[in-house]
């Protein structure tokens, strides 16, 4: 697996090289000291994965991510000091297509295996994703439809997802009364920061989903751990470790499939931008249940992977550009997004 490093700190580069040297399948193909250099190197020798710092001279990591994903798309993981303090820039980079984020490993940490663990796990998972070896979801046979109750909107997103979620959720009116649950591929270390970031941009309240609670009308709940969020019944959500063989944690497929199995009202499933196939089979299970299912179109997707997989298997009843999805959801749920209702 060929890897590019973008970091202006020689000590950080040494730390990253030391981590990568622990796996003989990982090869550093180039090192860039700033974002501008990274853009040129990525165009000349596009690697499988780029480890992108955020705070650099000449061009920062957010702008470099945007330009690379536009011209020479590849997997990008933000690797920077103090993720919590730089949460806003992390989500901006993810909005442009970065897949994940992790703190820069420290040279000072005595246990090198412990220091390298989080980054190596992410790199290996992305390697499986690039090679198409993600564990396929096991879609359940859909049960018979029940009588109509309240509405549930199930959202799934990965690379490019924070910005897409902000656009979609920000366009829902304050009187929107359906329950909204979003599963974004994001590490639990900064899931709370992402919920706060989305809450500041949306008319509806956004917070992390809590163990054992029911979907809340008029509230956006975000999956908040590295375990699998699912419905255990129409009025109870839970985080579970099993099945442990899922590449994606949290998994969109697992949540969508639990909606198809357990939700007793009407629902809308939406699969947004992202790399890989997570969510495609879950969205199909929701469509087979009779729910409205939407996939983001290619033109507005930062990474056209998950929506493309859903379209290929007929999981989406509608394929729409991102700016039209909120209005379609609102119409389905019987709510207008007209300006006089905002």
Please list the active-site residues: 158, 185, 278
Q: How many helices (H) and strands (E) does the chain have?
A: 11, 14
Half-sphere exposure of residue 260, counting CA atoms within 13 Å on the CB side?
Answer: 28
Task: Tell how strand 49-52 and strand 2-6 pair up.
Answer: parallel
**What's the gap between Cα 251 and its chain centre?**
10
Task: Tell how strand 2-6 and strand 27-32 pair up.
Answer: parallel
Contact 228, 240 (CB under 8 A): yes
Taking the C-alpha atoms of residue 81 and residue 105, their distance in angstroms, rounded to an integer, is 9
- If we measure between CA atoms, which residue out of 215, 197, 224, 244 comes closest to residue 89? 197
Taking the C-alpha atoms of residue 238 and residue 150, their distance in angstroms, rounded to an integer, is 20
Taking the C-alpha atoms of residue 81 and residue 106, their distance in angstroms, rounded to an integer, is 9
Contact 91, 194 (CB under 8 A): yes
Give the number of other Cβ atoms within 10 Å of residue 144's Cβ.
6
Give the number of other Cβ atoms within 10 Å of residue 60's Cβ.
18
Could you tell me where the DSSP H helices lie in 5-106? 10-20, 35-44, 61-71, 87-95
The continuous run of DSSP H or E covering 102 comes out as: strand 100-103
**47 vs 28, 141, 230, 256, 288, CA distance in Å?**
9, 40, 35, 33, 39
């Amino acid at each position: 697996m060929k890897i590019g490093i973008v970091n202006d700190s020689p000590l950080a580069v040494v730390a990253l090289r030391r981590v990568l040297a622990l796996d003989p399948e990982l090869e550093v193909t180039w090192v860039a000291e700033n974002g501008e250099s990274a853009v040129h190197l990525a165009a000349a020798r596009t690697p499988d994965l780029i480890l992108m710092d955020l705070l650099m001279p000449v061009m920062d990591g957010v702008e470099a991510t945007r330009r690379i994903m536009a011209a020479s798309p590849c997997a990008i993981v933000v690797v920077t000091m103090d993720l919590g303090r730089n949460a806003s820039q992390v989500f901006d980079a993810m909005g442009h297509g970065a897949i994940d984020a992790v703190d820069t490993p420290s040279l000072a940490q005595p246990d090198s295996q412990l220091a390298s663990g989080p980054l190596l796990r992410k790199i290996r998972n992305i390697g499986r994703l690039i090679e198409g070896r993600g564990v396929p979801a096991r879609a359940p046979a859909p049960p018979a439809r029940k009588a109509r109750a309240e509405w549930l909107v199930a959202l799934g997103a990965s690379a490019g997802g924070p910005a897409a979620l902000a656009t979609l959720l920000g366009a829902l009116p304050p009187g929107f009364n359906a329950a909204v649950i979003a599963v974004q591929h994001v590490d639990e270390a900064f899931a709370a920061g992402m919920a706060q970031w989305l809450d500041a941009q949306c008319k509806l309240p956004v917070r992390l989903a809590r163990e054992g609670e029911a979907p809340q009308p008029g509230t956006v709940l975000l999956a908040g751990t590295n375990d699998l969020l699912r419905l255990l019944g129409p009025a109870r959500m839970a985080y579970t470790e099993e099945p442990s063989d899922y590449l994606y944690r949290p998994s969109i497929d697992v949540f969508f499939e639990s909606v198809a199995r357990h939700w007793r009202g009407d629902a809308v499933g939406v699969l947004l931008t992202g790399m890989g196939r997570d969510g495609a089979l879950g969205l199909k299970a929701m469509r087979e249940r009779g729910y409205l299912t939407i996939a983001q179109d290619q033109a507005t997707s930062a990474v056209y992977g998950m929506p493309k997989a859903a379209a290929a298997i007929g999981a989406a009843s509608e394929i729409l550009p991102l700016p039209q999805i909120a209005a379609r959801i609102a119409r389905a749920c019987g709510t207008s997004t007209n300006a006089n209702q905002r």
